[in-house]
Structure 1
Amino acid sequence: MQKSETSRVAVAGLGAIGRKVAEALDRGIDGLVLAAVSAQNPDKHRSWLAGLAAPPQLLPIGQLADVADMVVECAPAALLRSIVAPFVMRGKTAIVLSAGALLENEDLIDLAKQNGGQIVVPSGALIGLDAVSAAATGNIHSVRMVTRKPVQGLAGAPYIVEHNIDIERITEPLKIFEGTARQAAKGFPANLNVAVALSLAGAGPDRTTLEIWADPSVTRNIHRVEVESDSARFSMWIENIPSENPRTGLITALSVIAYLRKLRAPLRVGT
């Protein structure tokens, strides 16, 4: 891609994250233009889109790859494949926030490799993925993550429903899950994309262990990560302020915007 070219970006999903990414692109990011968006309920967003400086096309998911060079996936996990596949099979880029769904669609990585496409998983609501990636070039001994979330941030998760956990009755911190990142991705597809991103950067989804706590005393999504490797021993702690969607931190959208700005930045910091 020549630096003089403008890349067309599509945003799939106009929830709390998608809207912020679309607004940032509309305000202007060097070398990028917001070409199209897609939403499950198009009529709900028409007036908001009309208020943008340069309203993009509002298209079905299946048409986004026809008009854009890259897509930012901000949609429910079940839609991941239908969003990502058309882009990577054409040698284009898909920026994926539903990282957990990648574990159910790992063949998309092979599809991207075969066609010269790329799948990007941004840092999202986690810190330190650069350090984890660097450690993974050597030998990682263990990766452990402990997540504490406000009770309502876990409402409706398949694991909660399957195990008949009445979260409304939780009055003190309660550990509701312990297992691997792969298991967490299945049980909490809208809640634990951070754990999958961590696992993909480091030791893998079957060697990354996770605890999930429902904690009525907290108002933020809290993640603590501890990594042991042959090159370093380190820990990370982050408290994310929830967006309008209690399952998602405000910083998630900002991490996507930061990634997009890096694409043409004269100075890039971090791997």
Structure 2
Amino acid sequence: MLRMQSTGKYSIRDLERLSGVKAHTIRIWEKRYGIIKPERTDTNIRYYSNDDLRHLLNISVLNNHGYKISAISEMSEGEIARRLSDLQVVKQDKDNYQENLLLSMIELNEAQFNKTFHSAIMNRGFEKTVVSIIFPFFERIGLMWQTGTINPAQEHFISNIIRQKIIAATDALNVIPAANAQTVLLFLPEGELHELGLLFYNYAFRARGYKAIYLGQSVPLESLQRITGICRPDLVVTAMINATQRKDYEHFTRLLAKAFPGKKIFYTGLVPSSAGIELPKHAYRVADLIAFLRLK
């Protein structure tokens, strides 16, 4: 169980977003069982500390595993820690991983993150860990970042660790593409910097014997047009996360189709799925490219 410095100030809505426990339930737990005791500002506004958040997260984990809140409220900090330790030895499920990752992010605790991540890999393997735990976790903290619940620096901290993990896993691959292997070109359009999803697809294609050419972040379209004579990919994969106007997105898809005529182009990320436009021929919007291509 982590000890966190009491420097954060959270509203009850922040606790709800971070812990997944409804604000109404938190209030009941406060009044009936005294599990956390908010402090007040000079203007009498209630707020919660990092210790309160950590304590609530630990209580939530125990409660989700069948412990009654009345029983948890009678436990000491040491007893809660022992029960959590027992749970982690017996069972490390998706919810446990999510809570541990969240705590490591809030405290900027890389050692705790590594412990959780390696445990998940031992139980699920690298790919399933990224797909079923890490990506849903980033969806969760993305909402927290938008609502101001977490500091953007905390999100960057976790993002950079995950980026390093994916790159290290890619470097460790010992797969040599066959001479007739298909070539996949992966890049982010100009202005796009969120590359975790694309890095993972780069790993997944390479692991399956594809020839992968990874161009990375913010690649100008004219640069792509210049390399078509050098690189003749069978597949093109890109991702768009930033908010984009419909006309700009539509214009980009037409230009990309022109740059790679007849090639399959896959658009991943949030914007393509919500843009509501008709893509050019041979272009596809996909949420899970591995499942779409049946990349076993």
Greater RCO, CA 8 A, separation 6+: 1
- TM-score, with structure 2 as normaliser: 0.28
The structure with the largest helix share of the pair is 2
The structure with the largest strand share of the pair is 1
- TM-score, with structure 1 as normaliser: 0.30
